[in-house]
Amino acid sequence: MTKQIKQLDRVIIRFAGDSGDGMQLTGDRFTSQSAAFGNDLATFPNFPAEIRAPQGTLPGVSSFQVHFADHDILTPGDRPDVLVAMNPAALRANVGDLPRGAQIIVDTHDFTKRNLAKAGYTVSPLEDDSLAEFAVHRVDLTGMTVEAVQEFGLSRKDASRAKNMFALGLLSWMYGRPTETTEAFLSKRFAKVPAIRDANITAFRTGWNFGETTEAFAVQYEIKPAPMAPGTYRNITGNLALAYGLVAGGVTSGLPLFLGTYPITPASDILHELSKHKAFGVTTFQAEDEISGIGAAIGASFVGNLGITSTSGPGIALKSESIGLAVMTELPLVVVNVQRGGPSTGLPTKTEQSDLLQALFGRNGEAPVPVIAPSSPGDCFDAALEAVRIAVTYRTPVMLLSDGYLANGSEPWRIPEVADLPAIDPAFATTPNHEVEGGEPDFWPYLRDAETLARPWAVPGTPGLEHRIGGLEKGDGHGNISYDPANHEFMVSTRAAKIAAIADSLPPLEVDDPTAADGDGAKVLVIGWGSTYGPIGAGVRRVRRVGGKVAQVHLRHINPLPKELGEILSRYDKILVPEMNSGQLRMLLRAEFLVDAIGYNQVNGMPIKAADLAEAIGDLVASTERSHP
């Protein structure tokens, strides 16, 4: 039959199923195909903390959302246009997010009495009118898959496991995705088990053919490639980009990397990735606990490696005393916090930005630490490189605040030219820097660089520079233990001044305020940090599309704050601070700049929805324009 082809500028698809149904893989493959096709895209995997929650239940539902478009997009989207539900629980858990008119593709095979009961349905939603406002496609995905792969002699269970590839094939046909990358992927992944490999490829092709031949799907959609800046691209998740950024920092600084860490969701993938890169001189140490992980990293930094530790909020709590030691000993150290929902164990697989104040202030004593945050999955690469630069140049622990949304989400990433990456100079001390009375050369470990206030980094093995450091207060210059009141006050303020001086090395903060140049700038500024960049940017665009004037600023550096920030804030009548916490950056801005910043706060473990935020921004813009014409 001839199919109708419909043009769309963007689509949001959510694949949902049981934790064991392979939804993450399905979403990942669809994403890869879309990336290869040239769409802009953003993804949002969402899964339970349990590895295999009871089959068919609501807590066991795992999903993967992908938003792809013919133009530049910033978020994985708020509400899916298409839901693929592999069982009743997946339908029930996700149907509430669908807009009227959305398409639902269900695997009817799993809509048994038992599975319906497990999901809490007394009547099948396929048989009453509860889905009346959606376009529902009832497809026996499992049955057709089992039939299609019969020839490979798999057990019924194994055969049915290829149903996710059938679904992927069907969706690939619906949206005209290229299939080569997935076939190549399956060939490689199951190379050692030919029957499974062939079954998956066959299921994938059968799904595609089913879409093409069945009358149930009358429309094929086309989403043209998005215009992008010239370059070579790949799709990348935040954790992978962050790990690559650290490896790049090792190359550009010439320092061997030492990752001391303890597995924790959602940061473990950084350990997994870095453990593959031993050829770059990367040592990974899986420690007995969080404290040992950072301790070993500090030890490695003391002897001339770049120490790194990666964790999530609960791990930072355990590492706090050690971060203080790195502050006192003034050693380079990168502390990665992939934030998750808290407090305590909280929501391990969900996202949140609630560790900002912990990063800034969560230590005993006055222990200033630079804090930086990436704004998108691909930006994790640049943020990690920046963390390495600051740590090495200023001899300080640096807190790098990613989060679960960035860690597992993905987007197209323009691969940078390695030659363009700036070099980082470890500038090891090799000679004495001081003379004792009588003119004999000596080494003072706390004699600072006049510009950066960094202390010299003299590593063991360097003759004549033997010295001792530690957690007790150090005397200015010589670095011996000092209990002198005036010295302590001086050292506290010097440590603070050193971190503040990092602001001198930052590029000017850019304000996105399109009409400001015409003298008709916005009155409302939206300011954020970290992973809310996408929703804020998307929300701001929506407001502008309907004629609203709004400015946007996004912070990479939260400590120190950019020097021009105070002046920028003073230009606007209203400051709106969207955050996935109860107002932590807002508290900081109010305290630092005495501005009456307004919060837009969401702490539900999920990314902020662009549409909701746009409404809030729009309301604020309208009320501000009214009261300050």
Q: Which helix (H) or strand (E) holds 3?
A: none
Give the other-Cβ count within 10 Å of 152's Cβ: 17
Closer Cβ to another protein, 474 or 609, answer by number: 474
CA distances from 513 to 221, 375, 598 (A): 36, 19, 19
32 is a site residue for another protein (CB under 8 A): yes
User: Binder to another protein among 8, 36, 427, 500 (CB under 8 A)?
Assistant: 36
Closer Cβ to another protein, 325 or 543, answer by number: 325
Closer Cβ to another protein, 59 or 231, answer by number: 231
Closest to 154 measured CA to CA, from 109, 193, 191: 193
Question: Residues 401 to 420: which contact another protein by CB under 8 A?
Answer: 415-419
Neighbour-count burial of 354, counting CB atoms closer than 10 A to its CB (0-12 exposed, 13-18 middle, 19+ buried): buried
Residue 466 CB, nearest approach to another protein (Å): 5
Q: Binding marks (x or -) toward another protein, 364..393, rule CB under 8 A?
A: -----------------x------------
Residue 107 CB, nearest approach to another protein (Å): 28
User: Binder to another protein among 94, 283, 349, 351 (CB under 8 A)?
Assistant: 283
Q: Residues 305, 311, 317, 323: what is their CA dihedral angle, to the nearest 10 degrees?
A: 10
Residue 35 CB, nearest approach to another protein (Å): 7
Question: Residues 302 to 361: which contact another protein by CB under 8 A?
Answer: 302-305, 307, 321-322, 324-325, 329
3-state secondary structure 136-193: EEEECHHHHHHHHCHHHCCCHHHHHCCHHHHHHHHHHHHCCCCCHHHHHHHHHHCCCC
Closer Cβ to another protein, 215 or 440, answer by number: 440
Contact between residue 423 and residue 290 where contact means Cβ atoms under 8 Å apart: no
Residue 270 CB, nearest approach to another protein (Å): 15
Closer Cβ to another protein, 6 or 272, answer by number: 272
Cα separation, 93 vs 86, in Å, equals 12
Q: Give the DSSP letter of residue 367.
A: -
Cα separation, 341 vs 355, in Å, equals 9
CA 249-254-260 angle, to 5 degrees, is 60
Residue type, 176: G
247 is a site residue for another protein (CB under 8 A): yes
Residue 228 CB, nearest approach to another protein (Å): 5
441 is a site residue for another protein (CB under 8 A): no
Phi, then psi, of 104 in degrees rounded to 5:
-125, 130
447 is a site residue for another protein (CB under 8 A): no
179 is a site residue for another protein (CB under 8 A): no
Contact between residue 482 and residue 467 where contact means Cβ atoms under 8 Å apart: no
228 is a site residue for another protein (CB under 8 A): yes
Cα separation, 617 vs 548, in Å, equals 9
Phi, then psi, of 349 in degrees rounded to 5:
-100, 5
Closer Cβ to another protein, 226 or 406, answer by number: 226
Residue 528 CB, nearest approach to another protein (Å): 27
Q: Which residues contact 494 (CB under 8 A, 6 or more apart)?
A: 448, 453, 476
Radius of gyration of the chain (CA): 27
Residue 81 CB, nearest approach to another protein (Å): 24
Q: Which stretch in 78-86, 149-157, 297-305, 555-563 sits in contact with another protein by CB under 8 A?
A: 297-305
The two beta strands, 4-7 and 557-559, are: unpaired
Question: Residues 258 to 277: which contact another protein by CB under 8 A?
Answer: 258, 260, 277
Would you say the C-alpha torsion 434, 435, 440, 446 has a positive or negative sign?
negative
Q: Which stretch in 95-103, 283-291, 342-350, 355-363 sits in contact with another protein by CB under 8 A?
A: 283-291
Q: Which stretch in 150-158, 192-200, 285-293, 570-578 sits in contact with another protein by CB under 8 A?
A: 285-293
CA distances from 607 to 240, 498, 626 (A): 20, 35, 31
Residue 333 CB, nearest approach to another protein (Å): 11
Question: Residues 72 to 131: which contact another protein by CB under 8 A?
Answer: none
166 is a site residue for another protein (CB under 8 A): no
- Helices 163-174 and 194-213 meet at what angle, rounded to 10? 40
Q: Which stretch in 16-24, 252-260, 334-342, 533-541 sits in contact with another protein by CB under 8 A?
A: 252-260
User: Binder to another protein among 289, 489, 504, 596 (CB under 8 A)?
Assistant: 289
User: Binder to another protein among 135, 472, 497, 594 (CB under 8 A)?
Assistant: 472
296 is a site residue for another protein (CB under 8 A): yes
Residue 461 CB, nearest approach to another protein (Å): 5
* Residues comprising the chain, all counted: 629
Q: Which stretch in 75-83, 463-471, 543-551, 609-617 sits in contact with another protein by CB under 8 A?
A: 463-471
Closer Cβ to another protein, 124 or 462, answer by number: 462
**What number of chain residues touch another protein (CB under 8 A)?**
72
